[in-house]
Amino acid sequence: MGYYSEGIDREMTEAMHRTHMGVDHDPDNLLLSALKVSLADGWGGSMISTDITDILFGTPMPVKGEASFGIFKEDEVNLVVHGHEPSLAETIVDVVNEPEMIAYAQSKGARGINLGGMCCTANEVLMRHGIPTAGGFTNQELAIMTGLVDAITVDVQCIMPALTELSKKFHTKVITTSYKAKMPGALHIEYDEHRAKDIARQVVRTAIDNFTNRKAVGSHISDVVPVIAGFHMST
């Protein structure tokens, strides 16, 4: 149709201007503007982000995994990584396997540390490491309602603001990590790429320390569903 993106910021700003009061009133013209915004997002943002993520953390390959709330373990510390930015999640994957962290969890009465994913971050750690996923965007509140999630770390997108109020009914620690995405009632541990391992260890220790605060409430689920993830454009 001859339409192309002239830049990410330009398209977003122009679309906001068009939809301001008294500017663009033609439905077809507004839809064409939306198409240009989509091109800017898909080709100027998402595709480049995917390529860079593959360079930094490795190109995914098909891998077996598990999904559903049954991934949570009653005798282990359950930590959920949730959001969209994979850097911290990748670091947490490394940290939960450190002998010192496992020993610390065992000192609190847990058999070990169980890492699970939620939403888009879940896909990142599933397709590269086989880390099980609890579900997508609409499952995040239900995950806390199992009563087994000791901590959930979130960043910048798809985070339901009701999580903190819901967590008060159980024992879950909601941890925000971005300076631009804070939530009332959450514990804020700001992520710094230059101190990635230290921040990740702080997050994991927070989950471990909260293991002893579990309440006898929640809907424990045992069923899991096998999945295969990690299909890349090159495969």
CATH of the domain at 173: 3.40.50.2030
**Block mean pLDDT (10 aa), the chain, length 235:** 87 95 95 94 87 91 94 97 93 96 98 96 93 95 96 94 94 96 96 96 98 91 92 67
Q: Kindly provide the b/e burial profile for residues 1-38, where b requires at least 16 CB atoms within 10 angstroms of the residue's own CB.
A: eeeebeebeebeebbeeeeeeeeeeeeeeeeebeebbe
Alpha carbon distance 159, 176 (integer Å): 10
Domain identity same for 204 and 130? yes
3 occurs within a structural domain: no
- Phi and psi (nearest 5°) for 216? -85, 45
Domain identity same for 97 and 14? no
Alpha carbon distance 211, 101 (integer Å): 13
pLDDT at 147: 96
235 occurs within a structural domain: no
Q: How many CB atoms lie within 10 A of CB 143?
A: 23
Question: Domain tally for the chain?
Answer: 2
pLDDT at 233: 66
- Phi and psi (nearest 5°) for 176? -90, 150
Domain identity same for 204 and 155? yes
